[in-house]
Amino acid sequence: MSADVRGGSARSELADLPLRDELRGELPYGAPQLVVPVQLNVNENPYPPSGNVVAAIAAAVAEAATTLNRYPDREFLPLRADLAAFLNADADVELQPSQLWAANGSNEIMQQLLQAFGGPGRTAVSFAPTYSMYPEYARNTHTTWVAGRRNTDFSLDLRHAAELIAEHQPSVIILTSPNNPTGTALPLDDVRVVLDAAPGVVVVDEAYAEFRRAGVPSALTLLAEHPELVVTRTMSKAFALAGGRLGYLAAAAAVVDAVRIVRLPYHLSAVAQATARAALAHSAELLATVDTLRVERDDTVSWLRAVGLRAAESDSNFVLFGTFADRHAVWQGLLDRGVLIRETGPDGWLRVSIGTRDEMRAFRTALSEVAKDLLDPRMGDHT
């Protein structure tokens, strides 16, 4: 078997296999994983865990390793209790462990939700531009995918949303707040309008919720009144645990029961459970970088606007900015200067994840060089 540089096999060999028709010609999803000095492309937290947190995780994993001959705890109630305690403090709610569920990243959570509530003959609806993975989970679960649109400021067009919901009667609606790649948060009133119109479940993906600005509420506060609402979160972003693969949902206990029917047995390894619990025990320390990143984000938005570019409102740890007649040339120019960002979003826009102060300085310097003909020269020192 010949392997190409991306770790896949030659395409001609793939063509000979009885692959599902809708998967023919498809490529595995993923942003380029390039090794460059400044990586601002997949919305990771740039700060690695401290020595203290690393030691706590290592100790917890060592303890778990003593029983790795056994399958892990399938219901992982201790972890679910820790997650409930974290959310209860974060959003001032009163969730029980039975209302929490976790998996290998919130990507797996979303797939489990579509396995349980989507499927052949059913439709999932979302509003573009939004997270590019959703259509792939829909495809993988044989769920029909319908993408509505947003207003030009990336807010929801509620009238359009209501029409789309009435027309397609989706069993799953996915809202994303703050939205990726735009960074915009949804007002709870908009979520309520969608909940009232929805014939099925409404998933609010809050992967970036910890970065929201003061006063922006979480959809968790709507759970008590809405049994059809599911809120998903992840430890990949604010918690600086992307490598740990731990995503979770909060919902009515009945939603958790539905997902438990489709989950693979023992899907969440003992190592992942131990890692997540150790990280949650240090949540204050891990989340201490969030304030720094918020300030850096707001500074980035201000700078982009000051030099004459557009930047979307952001409640997340990234900023969508533009617009460029040739965004690929700008992306490539930044990469040539050692700064990797993401070519995503509507035509002409680019997305930059918020890194450390030094990394953002490198981004500004590189962008000033690459787009010098586009930026406002009166700004002078761009760094």
Can you give the binding site for ligand PLP, defined by CB under 6 A? 43, 105-107, 131, 176, 180, 205, 207, 234, 236-237, 242, 247
Query: Residue 272 or 366: which CB sits closer to ligand PLP?
Result: 272
> What tokens does 292 get?
């720094």
Closest approach, Cβ 111 to ligand PLP, in A, equals 10
Closest approach, Cβ 51 to ligand PLP, in A, equals 24
Query: Residue 106 or 283: which CB sits closer to ligand PLP?
Result: 106
Query: Residue 107 or 123: which CB sits closer to ligand PLP?
Result: 107
Query: Residue 105 or 366: which CB sits closer to ligand PLP?
Result: 105
Query: Residue 206 or 359: which CB sits closer to ligand PLP?
Result: 206
Q: Rounded to 5 degrees, what angle do the CA atoms 7, 354, 231 make? A: 80
Task: Give, in order, the Cα–Cα distances in Å from 72 to each of 21, 261, 330.
Answer: 36, 17, 47
- How far is 159 from 163, CA to CA, in rounded Å? 6
Closest approach, Cβ 69 to ligand PLP, in A, equals 28
Place of tokens 């979520």: 191
Place of tokens 């959703």: 134
Closest approach, Cβ 240 to ligand PLP, in A, equals 12
According to DSSP, residue 242 is labeled G
Query: Residue 30 or 265: which CB sits closer to ligand PLP?
Result: 30
Return the bridge partners of 322, or none. 310
Query: Residue 122 or 342: which CB sits closer to ligand PLP?
Result: 342
Closest approach, Cβ 372 to ligand PLP, in A, equals 31
Return the bridge partners of 340, or none. 39
What is the Cβ-side half-sphere exposure of residue 186, based on CA atoms within 13 angstroms?
27
Closest approach, Cβ 66 to ligand PLP, in A, equals 28
Q: Using an 8 Å Cβ cutoff, are 124 and 174 in contact?
A: yes
Closest approach, Cβ 249 to ligand PLP, in A, equals 11
Query: Residue 102 or 307: which CB sits closer to ligand PLP?
Result: 102
Cα-Cα-Cα-Cα torsion 215, 220, 226, 229, nearest 10 degrees, comes to: 120
What is the Cβ-side half-sphere exposure of residue 306, based on CA atoms within 13 angstroms?
14
Closest approach, Cβ 224 to ligand PLP, in A, equals 24
Name, in order, each residue with C-beta under 8 angstroms of 113's C-beta and a sequence gap of 6 or more.
172, 201, 203, 230, 232, 249, 259
Q: Which residue is nearest to ligand PLP (CB)?
A: 105
Q: Determine whether 279 is exposed, middle or buried from the number of CB atoms within 10 Å of its CB (0-12, 13-18, 19+).
A: buried
Q: Rounded to 5 degrees, what angle do the CA atoms 125, 129, 135 make? A: 45
- How far is 219 from 251, CA to CA, in rounded Å? 11
Closest approach, Cβ 237 to ligand PLP, in A, equals 6
Closest approach, Cβ 232 to ligand PLP, in A, equals 7
Name, in order, each residue with C-beta under 8 angstroms of 118's C-beta and a sequence gap of 6 or more.
124, 138, 141, 142, 143, 171, 172
Query: Residue 104 or 365: which CB sits closer to ligand PLP?
Result: 104
- How far is 173 from 192, CA to CA, in rounded Å? 13
Query: Residue 262 or 374: which CB sits closer to ligand PLP?
Result: 262
Judged by DSSP in three states, 3 sits in strand
> What tokens does 117 get?
């509530």
